[in-house]
Amino acid sequence: MNATDCRAWLLPIAPEAYVAVGEGEIAHILSGWLSLHPVPRSPRWCHDVFLWQRQVVPLFDLGILVRHESAVSVAGGQVIMIVAYAAATGDVRFGGLRLGGLPFSRKVTDDQICDYPSNYDGWEHIAISCFTDPSHGPVPVLDLARLFDGSVAVTGRE
């Protein structure tokens, strides 16, 4: 995201909790039934993978990591957003984010920068900045490469 004046997608990850990604980072939105493959002994917040366009995509549930919420039922009503990011090797990778509702777009400017919300003490390890949304308060902007490919989530910081 360009920090001076840009558009961001706000993603509801739990009741009253939002994160954001850059306008060009959304690859696809899936809703309804999806066949998930649980990976034994993986973290609760990233426990499943699924197939999308012949690729294996990990499904991250930030609501569990940040708010310690129970896993959302696979049965229905879920929205899964597929995001694209550049790995350290330079290739484009895809990750899935489980959402509590549809994402929506916002214009963001420099004067909205603020501190990370206090609901999770690991934001600086998975986000690159934070801005204040007039309706939803502080919204961390995800660093997708660190979220999916970093080791910080291994500890969970619970």
Binding site residues, another protein, CB under 8 A: 37-44, 46-47, 49-51, 55-56, 58, 60, 68, 93, 95, 147-151, 153-156, 158
| Closer residue to another protein, CB minimum distance, 106 or 146 | 146
- 127 and 19 Cβ atoms separated by less than 8 Å: yes
Q: Report in angstroms how near the CB of residue 157 gets to another protein at its nearest.
A: 10
Q: Which residues, listed in sequence order, are joined to residue 82 by a DSSP beta bridge? A: 28, 96
| Closer residue to another protein, CB minimum distance, 59 or 108 | 59
| Closer residue to another protein, CB minimum distance, 17 or 48 | 48
Q: Report in angstroms how near the CB of residue 147 gets to another protein at its nearest.
A: 7
Q: What backbone torsions phi and psi does residue 143 show, to the nearest 5 degrees? A: -100, 95
Q: How many alpha carbons lie under 13 Å from residue 53 in its C-beta half-sphere?
A: 9
Q: Report in angstroms how near the CB of residue 38 gets to another protein at its nearest.
A: 6
Q: Report in angstroms how near the CB of residue 123 gets to another protein at its nearest.
A: 15
First-to-last C-alpha distance (Å) of the chain: 29
| Closer residue to another protein, CB minimum distance, 35 or 118 | 35
Cβ atoms within 10 Å, residue 33: 10
Helix (H, G, I), strand (E, B) or coil at 4: coil
